[in-house]
Amino acid sequence: MVKIIMHGCNGHMGQVITGLVKEDANAEIIAGIDMNDNGQNDYPVFKSLAECDVPADVVVDFSSYKAADALLDACKEKKLPLVLCTTGLTEDQLKKVQETSKEIPVLRSANMSLGVNTLMKLVQAAAKVLAEAGFDMEIVEKHHNQKLDAPSGTAITLAEGILENIDRKDKWVKGTLVAPDGSVSGNTVYAPDELPVSSVREGEVPGIHTIRYDSEADSISITHDAKNRKGFALGAVLAAEYTAQHEGFLGMNDLFQF
């Protein structure tokens, strides 16, 4: 039985994971971390991991990049493995994640879903073939109107994976951004060596990522549409069970063995 501390337990994902773990015979949430607590959980909730005195095997984080530094410090001090699911981390924070993983196990992923991680492999394979055939490409991601970072961490990871597999483009750039009020901003014209990543923020969309390949002859689109948050939650729980028994810097490739 893997004992989990849920960091960000009262957020949307924290609550989905809480419900999922109740049905998992291999895991248990024994404490939560959140600034706000209305008593809705059947485990104790602390305002910070530093204050938490409940023994655990691993921490699962779905909170905010603003809390990442303190979380990494506390996990290192307590020797607690960490599954870091928060997106929007700064370059300095990403470096800190790498440094921390030298002392404790850290699994970091921009997206915990098996479906999305499979998508990443598909679009990389397609890019190798289609770029050579002269296809251009772009990424469009759509999320709920409460998501602050744009592009999404998943979209950025998709873009970086494509760029690693082709020679024609050197960098990804922000494309258009459709805000919750319907206003449109951002770039619409791109250089040949740029891979545009556009964003839409509306409603309660859990997450839709589309990669489009286009040529004069035909077009190909590959899309992952998250129906709800359960896919992300399941991946996070499996990642927690995995990370609790491994070392170093880990990713979903280690867990799913693509």
> Which residues form the catalytic set?
143, 147
State how beta strands 106-108 and 136-143 pair: unpaired
Cross-strand partners of 181: none
Length of the chain equals: 258
Can you read off the two tokens belonging to residue 85?
């699911």
Pairwise CA distance, residues 42 & 29, whole Å: 9
Question: 242-251: b or e for each residue (b if 16 or more CB lie within 10 Å)?
Answer: bbbeeeeebe
Pairwise CA distance, residues 225 & 142, whole Å: 9
Q: For the chain, list the strands marked E by DSSP.
A: 2-7, 27-33, 45-46, 58-61, 82-84, 106-108, 136-143, 171-178, 184-186, 194-201, 208-214, 219-225, 249-250
Pairwise CA distance, residues 58 & 155, whole Å: 27
